[in-house]
Amino acid sequence: MLKNPFKPTMGMTPPLLVGREDILDEVQFALDNGPGTHERVTVITGPRGIGKTVLLNAIEDLALQRGWVYFSETATKGFLPRLIGSAQAKITELAPKPKRKLTGLSISGAGGLDWENVEHTASPSSLRENLTRLLDLIDETDAKLRQETGLFITLDELHHLQRDEIIELATTVQHLIRESRNIALFMAGIPGSVKPLLGDNAGRNPITFLRRANRVTLGRVDTDFVREGLAVPVQNLGLRWDEDALDEAATACDGYPFMIQLVGQYSFAARQGDTITAASVRAGISRARTKLGQLVHEPALADLSEKDRVFLGFMAEDEEDSAVAEIADRMGVSAQYANNYRRRLIDAEMIEPTQRGRVKFALPYLREYLRENYS
């Protein structure tokens, strides 16, 4: 049986990663251009399912191809000690083996020999000491192999709750960059979790470093890329899309990467023989929308305040974009009050401004989801 090529699973690399070439070019530049390149510290933000994690994976591949040492972490509590552990393991792997001296023969055991390390270096404990030691070892290896690599760290699911650990990592990396070390740090998170880390916060200034980092806002991909993302994995299996079916599927994705995988998977499953027809796609879109609701809309709405949800609920009454002043009327609040919601929801990337005073949903099918579940 033919395996379905699409991968509608968070964090799973798609059969074809589309529409991210510009960013990947930027990363290659950052890696190859040496210490001091601004893009070496990058914060990627974007709504759920836009492809942050799989982009980080693709970025790691680039680092790996260049022979860099890389650590991939998720910013859950305790990521810093985990990072230190990874660094220590790598130090042990790269460090020249200590010379040993025979100190005796033990009779009790299996007749083993007792050894004592001649050179005994205490293992460093702070993140900075560990990373410095590791970077020294990487430099030594590079010198031997006549190459220039470095240390690459990715931190996914950036969240202000881990603020203290993130500050320590940022401060450490900042020092190492000032020392012209070959280190790069790529972080990703949803805007609502990242914004508080970047916001002005008098007195907690190591974050300035993050604020000055290169910022990448991940958005939707162009329809041509969507078509490619749907078509190529199917063609590679020797199957095909009907032309109108592919058009319909691509339109339904609305540039949203997660939908490429969902619509692709369910349309593929509903194919007729070797062909994905318009009927397969219609069945596919319907199942894709249900899944999208469970996996994206529901958690995204759960992150918001009740009032923000009410604002979105009133927006869902419109067929196209909404006038903020009208939403204010429907809510029975002042225009100024409604503007606060507008600001917050834009920050959370739930809505985006279209023209003056008007906004639209930033996630595909959120309107339909709200109508079906919140009215």
Q: How many helices (H) and strands (E) does the chain have?
A: 16, 12
Selected binder of ligand ATP within 27, 31, 54, 301 (CB under 6 A): 54
Which tokens hold the place of 370?
């709200």
Using CB under 6 A, which of the segments 14-22, 35-43, 329-337, 347-355 binds ligand ATP? Answer: 14-22
Helix (H, G, I), strand (E, B) or coil at 58: helix
Residues in touch with Mg ion (CB under 5 A)? 52-53
From the list ligand ATP, Mg ion, none, partner contacted by residue 363 (C-beta under 5 to 8 A by kind): none
Piece of the chain touching ligand ATP by CB under 6 A; list 12-20, 80-88, 311-319, 360-368? 12-20
Candidates 30, 31, 39, 52: give the one binding ligand ATP (CB under 6 A). Answer: 52
Contacts of 294 (CB under 8 A, 6+ apart): none
Distance CA 255, CA 342 (A): 23
> ∠ CA 72-73-77 to the nearest 5 degrees?
170
Asked if residue 53 binds ligand ATP (CB under 6 A), the reply is yes
Q: Is 18 in the site for ligand ATP (CB under 6 A)?
A: yes
**How far is residue 185's CA from residue 153's CA, in Å, rounded to a whole number?**
5
Chosen residue from 5, 20, 30, 69 binding ligand ATP by CB under 6 A? 20
Q: Does residue 59 touch ligand ATP according to CB under 6 A?
A: no
How many residues touch ligand ATP under the rule CB under 6 A: the total is: 25
The helix or strand, by DSSP H or E, that contains position 330, with its residue range, turns out to be: helix 324-331
Instruction: State in angstroms the smallest separation of the CB of 228 from Mg ion.
Output: 22
Taking CB under 6 A as the rule, does residue 27 contact ligand ATP?
no
Q: How far is the CB of 88 from Mg ion (least distance, A)?
A: 27
Residue nearest to ligand ATP (CB): 51
Our CA angle for 44, 54, 41, nearest 5°, is 30
Number of neighbours of residue 103 by Cβ within 10 angstroms: 10
Distance CA 278, CA 250 (A): 12
Q: Which of 274, 216, 285, 221 is nearest to 249 (CA)?
A: 285
Q: Is 261 in the site for ligand ATP (CB under 6 A)?
A: yes
- Minimum distance between the CB of residue 73 and ligand ATP, rounded to whole angstroms? 14
What count of Cα atoms within 13 Å lies in the side-chain half-sphere of residue 110?
Answer: 0
Contacts of 315 (CB under 8 A, 6+ apart): 322, 327, 351, 359, 361, 367, 370
Which residue, 182 or 193, has its beta carbon nearer to Mg ion? 193
Binding part of the chain for ligand ATP, among 15-23, 67-75, 241-249, 336-344 by CB under 6 A, reads 15-23
Q: Are 273 and 65 in contact, with CB atoms under 8 Å apart?
A: no
Q: Is 4 in the site for ligand ATP (CB under 6 A)?
A: no
Judged by CB under 6 A, the stretch of 100-108, 176-184, 258-266, 356-364 that binds ligand ATP is 258-266
Residue 9 CB, nearest distance to Mg ion (Å)?
A: 11
Q: CA separation (Å) from 44 to 210, 270, 318, 373?
A: 11, 35, 31, 31
**Residue 17 binds which one of ligand ATP, Mg ion, none, with CB within 5 to 8 A depending on kind?**
ligand ATP
| 232 belongs to the binding site for ligand ATP (CB under 6 A) | no
Binding site residues, ligand ATP, CB under 6 A: 7-12, 14, 17-20, 46, 48-54, 190, 229, 257-258, 260-261
